[in-house]
Amino acid sequence: GAGVSQSPSNKVTEKGKDVELRCDPISGHTALYWYRQSLGQGLEFLIYFQGNSAPDKSGLPSDRFSAERTGGSVSTLTIQRTQQEDSAVYLCASSWAVNTEAFFGQGTRLTVV
Amino acid sequence: TQLLEQSPQFLSIQEGENLTVYCNSSSVFSSLQWYRQEPGEGPVLLVTVVTGGEVKKLKRLTFQFGDARKDSSLHITAAQPGDTGLYLCAGLNSGGSNYKLTFGKGTLLTVNP
């Protein structure tokens, strides 16, 4: 596709349920990032994938959060046993390589009720 | 932990006025980026400044990187309603994790016709 695509655009889930958020990066981009944007807060780094290297998971807030990237392309962010504080916009970005311009998707707005 | 303080948090002005947004940190960044984000969309990169003291212009927008590479400013001349949006500064870490962006909380700009 022409840009980074995220799905779903909006997700409302009940507290305690698991959710999966999907990111389709721009074709050929080797680097993929997940950020979280909460109300009144800046974007918070979650995880970084670069090619076949081990991902940097240092930004994941708890062990309920996990992410994978299959075949160096599509990435899925999974949140288990969702809590209300997980409500936020989850943004995915990709770039051709490290230190090159990152292009963001439109985000997934997650609401935990 | 590297932090970026952005000010003001909110700014509402009339069309034709000038404004400046500030981004300050006690940390040194290898580069600093400015993004604009519209509702329901991901951030879009406006500019990257790399060299201390660097000034870049993008039409009516002027970006400056501080000499010590710890702070930056965005100046808009003769603001227009189309400039309305959330402006985010983000510093790129130096050293090993040179792919992580540290974001400020943003400045929500409203330009009234």
Q: How far is B52 from chain A (nearest CA, A)?
A: 18
Chain A residues bordering chain B (beta-carbon distance below 8 Å):
4, 31, 33, 35, 40-45, 48, 50, 56, 58-59, 91, 93, 98-99, 101-107
Angle B96-B101-B103 (CA atoms, 0-180°, nearest 5)?
Answer: 145
Element (H, E) at B27: none
CB contact under 8 A, B90 and A43: yes
Nearest by CB to B105, which of A40, A50, A103? A40
Set of chain A residues whose Cβ sits within 8 Å of the Cβ of B44: 104
Nearest by CB to B99, which of A98, A101, A103? A98
CB contact under 8 A, A42 and B45: no
Note the pLDDT of residue B5: 94
Please name the residue of chain B whose CA is at the shortest distance from the CA of residue A6.
B42
CB contact under 8 A, B42 and A45: no
CB contact under 8 A, A48 and B105: no
Chain B residues bordering chain A (beta-carbon distance below 8 Å):
4, 6, 40-45, 48, 88, 90, 92, 97-106
Cβ atoms of A32 and A92 closer than 8 Å: yes
The pLDDT of residue B3 is above 90: no
Per the listing, tokens 């329901």 go with B40
Q: What pLDDT tens digit does each residue of chain A (113 aa) get?
A: 589 999 999 999 999 999 999 999 999 999 999 999 998 788 999 999 998 889 999 999 999 999 999 888 999 999 999 999 999 999 999 999 877 889 999 999 999 99
User: Which runs of E-coded beta strand occur in A19-112?
Assistant: 19-24, 31-37, 43-50, 65-69, 75-79, 88-95, 103-104, 108-112
SS3 of B34, please? strand
Nearest by CB to A99, which of B98, B104, B105? B98
Please name the residue of chain A whose CA is at the shortest distance from the CA of residue B87.
A42
Note the pLDDT of residue B1: 65
Count of H helices and E strands in chain B? 0, 11
- Average per-residue pLDDT for chain B: 93
Confidence band for B93, pLDDT divided at 50, 70 and 90: confident
SS3 of B81, please? helix
